[in-house]
Structures are given as C-alpha cells and as structure tokens.
Structure 1
Amino acid sequence: MKLWLMLFATLAMTACSSFDTAYEKEVEYEYVEPDVYPVLSAVGYAPISVQQGADYNAKSLRAMKASKLEAYRELAEQVYGQRLQGKATVADMVVVDDGIKSKVDGLIRGARVVRSYPVGDNYATEMELDMERVYQITRSVNKPRRIKDVHYY
C-alpha cells in the first residue's frame, strides 16, 4: 500500500511538469542602430490680426505660439501619419451629406525652432526634427533591441 501511495504521489507531482524543453530558453538581445537618420522639417503659419489681444504685440505673441503649435502638428503628421475618417450619407440615390475628419496624434521630442518670423499679416515658424537626436532621447528612455542569441535548457 505504501508503495502505491508513493507511486501515486510521484505521478501526481510530475503530471503537471513539461517534458518539452523548447519552452525553456533564455533570449539574449543586442542593440540596433539605424544606418541613416533623416531630418524632418515643418513650417507652421498663424494669422496675427484675428488673434485675441489688446494690441499688436499681444496678438503677435499669440500668433507666434499658434504657428509653433501648427509646426509641431505638421511634424507629428510626418512621424505618425494622419488618421482620416470619412462619412457619406445617401438618400434616394443622391449624396446628402459627405464629410471627412482628420486627426493627428503623437508625441514629438527633440524638435527645435529653426526660425520664427512675420510674413505680412501671418506669423511663420520653421521647425526641424533630427531623428538622430530623437533616437538618442528614445534610447535613453527605452532601449531598442534585437535577438542576439538563444540558449535552450
């Protein structure tokens, strides 16, 4: 009886263990650096006269800020793309309503203002995004990697 109990206990302990060693491995990664780093550029424009403000200087400052945000939006569009959503309504075989919405969503790090200047009644801001700088910033936050070696046990 004792022998059967020991045999059953041994069988019960090993029944849940895996005999397949393909799942038991250690993966070693190495870091990958791109060969070429592009430099993206964007220009944002904003009208001065329609900005809220008491005088021309206050309106210029608001237009400066708005043009910078527009340039950031353009950089985000280049990096992440633009999400488009279209809608068309048809009634009696005639298009009643047709519309499209666009959305840009992203995080831009490392961009720099190249130049900011007035152009007539508008304010323009030129920005530049060096992807090598972005790579260095991103690598300091979360390091990119690839499989270097796999050890099976």
Structure 2
Amino acid sequence: MVQLTEVVDEHFQEGQAGPEDEDDGDYTDTDSEISDDSDYDPENETFGERLYALRDIVPPQTRGYIAGKFNTATSAVKSVLSFSGKTLWVISSSALLLGVPWALAWAEEQQVLEMEKEMKMREMGGEILTGGNPNGGSSTAQQVGAALGGEAKPAL
C-alpha cells in the first residue's frame, strides 16, 4: 500500500528578503488614501453615462451579439435609405426629361384644337350674320346645329 508523507521545503521556511523593519513607517495601506475629495457629482451624470457605466454587467458574448445585431440593423436601414434615394432620383429625373415635354406638347395640341373650334364658330357666326343661307331656307337654329354636326336640341 502507498503511504503519503508531507515533505516541507526549506525554501519556504526561510524569511523573505524585503524592506527592513525601519522602512515600515513609509508603508501605507491603499484603502487609507481614498479621500472624499473627488469631483464626481451624481446629479450631473447623464442617462447615457449611466448606461455606459453598466456595460461591464453584460457579459462580453452578449455585448458582441447585441453589437452585431445593431450593426446589421444599421446597415439594413442605410441600404434601404440609399436605394430609396436613388429610386426617387431616377423617377424625378425621368419625369422632368419625359413628362414635361409631353405635357407641353399635349397642352399645345389642346390649344390647336381650341383654335380650330373657335375658327369653326367664327365661320358659322359669319354665315348667320351675313344672311347666307347655305341650306336653302332653314332657320338659324338648324344652321347652328348643322355646323356643330348634329341636330339642334332645345335648352332645358
């Protein structure tokens, strides 16, 4: 059977080399040097500073996980905003380059149609005023209706 015996090392029984007894007067405990003269004022501390001071409570793995999720969300928001801005730029520049000339051409076409309609009305008015009876004895209402392309209907 095995029997255990304790062997004492002579090195641990000797005294340590260090300061002499006369140097003990210079030695002070670090706890005794803490004073109340600090410029820390809890009233002036912001909420952000308090949260930042609590960072050591959260384990490093959890902090890394939270930071990773925050960075991912921030990146996604930046990407969406960038894509939205580029899309808005394409739509607005396309509207200016294509829509404005088309709107001007359409307005001009409407103006030409109105001018043609006004010319027809002037021709018709001139025939009525001069007494020219192109339909051979028809009334003025019938002439106006014929010029407009249909029968004259009484107003309600």
What is the TM-score with the length of structure 1 in the denominator? 0.26
Higher-helix-fraction structure: 2
Q: Looking at both structures, which has the greater relative contact order when contacts are Cα pairs under 8 Å and sequence separation is at least 6?
A: 1
In our comparison, the structure showing a higher alpha carbon Rg is: 2
Scaled by the length of structure 2, what TM-score is found?
Answer: 0.25
